[in-house]
A = this chain, B = another copy of it.
Amino acid sequence: MTVVFIGAGNLATHLASALQESGHQIIQIFSRTYESASRLGSKLNVPFTNNTSELLQDADIYIYAVSDSALADLAELSVAPEAIHIHTAGSVSMDVFSGKKTNCGVFYPLQTFSKLKDLHFKEIPVFIESSSEMVRDQLIRLARSVSDKVYEITSSQRLNLHIAAVFACNFVNCFYHIASDLVEKADLPFDVLKPLIFETADKIRLLSPGEAQTGPARRMDMDVIDKHLNLLDQDPELRRLYQEVSQMIFNKHV
């Protein structure tokens, strides 16, 4: 398929590379800033622009990999009305295209993307949604060409999935950050926590999160919890968070 990318951020970078490697032809990169359009265009050796009036009109598919707020505006563009238009956002309904594009859909890869870190796209689950059988068939083909795990879901399922991903990734990383601050306060390097962090993730290969749960809250060990809360007295926000997550663990294991 011939593809135009609207957006040149982390997700666009990984997805465009994966599509190119699996034989699709990226014919243009658009980004609102010249720098990022040029960076991804050069990386993929593909023409690029930061001017919407220069968007090519003859691609098979237009992939909007931009922030949610930019998406609302860009979805309005009158570009290639017969082509397929899809976005990659977790929390935006497919309806963002309604009235403006006939053939539309969603292509949501569930992963955290950084420009600096390579990924095996084949292992990333991709969730698709489509406005018609025709779009569905094309999106399934496109998704299967880059990923071994393709699911069809609704906008509402996708929103739940996005919240799950916020907890499993963004909020988990925030807890790594909190832990990093605490070991630093104890004059120790963050590195001492890494074996624990990797093992905590690795455990869920074998065990469900319910089975894998350990720690003072799981054992209802109030002596330890009280010692920890005492030490956290100096930081009310962190103390409240400690209490609430401990309470959540109690509730999930009664």
Residues of B within 8 A of A165 (CB): 179, 193, 196
Copies, count: 2
Give the docked Cα–Cα distance between A98 and B197 (Å).
34
Question: Do B168 and A193 touch (CB < 8 A)?
Answer: yes
Question: Do A195 and B248 touch (CB < 8 A)?
Answer: no
Which of A45-53, A99-107, A180-188 faces chain B? A180-188
In the complex, whether A22 has a CB less than 8 A from a CB of chain B is no
Give the docked Cα–Cα distance between A191 and B152 (Å).
15
Give the docked Cα–Cα distance between A207 and B110 (Å).
20
Question: Do A223 and B175 touch (CB < 8 A)?
Answer: no
Give the docked Cα–Cα distance between A55 and B156 (Å).
62
Question: Do A67 and B183 touch (CB < 8 A)?
Answer: no
What per-residue 1/0 map shows which CB atoms of A48-78 lie under 8 Å from chain B?
A: 0000000000000000000111000000000
Shortest CB–CB separation between residue A73 and chain B, in angstroms? 13
In the complex, whether A23 has a CB less than 8 A from a CB of chain B is no
Question: Do A190 and B208 touch (CB < 8 A)?
Answer: yes
Question: Do A67 and B221 touch (CB < 8 A)?
Answer: yes
In the complex, besides A166-B216, A170-B214, A172-B200, 10 extra interface pairs with C-beta distance below 8 angstroms are A160-B185, A163-B182, A163-B242, A169-B214, A170-B217, A171-B242, A173-B214, A174-B209, A179-B209, A190-B208
Question: Do B151 and A192 touch (CB < 8 A)?
Answer: yes
Question: Do B168 and A200 touch (CB < 8 A)?
Answer: yes
CB-contact partner of A125 in B153, B195, B228, B240, under 8 A: B195
User: What is the interface of chain A mostly: helix, strand, loop, or mixed?
Assistant: helix
| Number of A interface residues in the complex (CB < 8 A) | 96
In the complex, whether A44 has a CB less than 8 A from a CB of chain B is no
Known contacts: A201-B198, A215-B170, A244-B244. The answer to whether A177 contacts B210 by CB under 8 A is: yes
Residues of B within 8 A of A196 (CB): 110-112, 165, 168-169
In the complex, whether A123 has a CB less than 8 A from a CB of chain B is yes
Question: Do B212 and A114 touch (CB < 8 A)?
Answer: yes
Give the docked Cα–Cα distance between A166 and B68 (Å).
34
Question: Do B175 and A175 touch (CB < 8 A)?
Answer: yes
Question: Do A179 and B168 touch (CB < 8 A)?
Answer: yes
Most chain B beta carbons < 10 A, residue from A112, A167, A193:
A167
Q: Which residue of B lies closest to A219 (CB)?
A: B67
In the complex, whether A119 has a CB less than 8 A from a CB of chain B is yes
In the complex, whether A231 has a CB less than 8 A from a CB of chain B is yes
Residues of B within 8 A of A179 (CB): 164-165, 167-168, 209
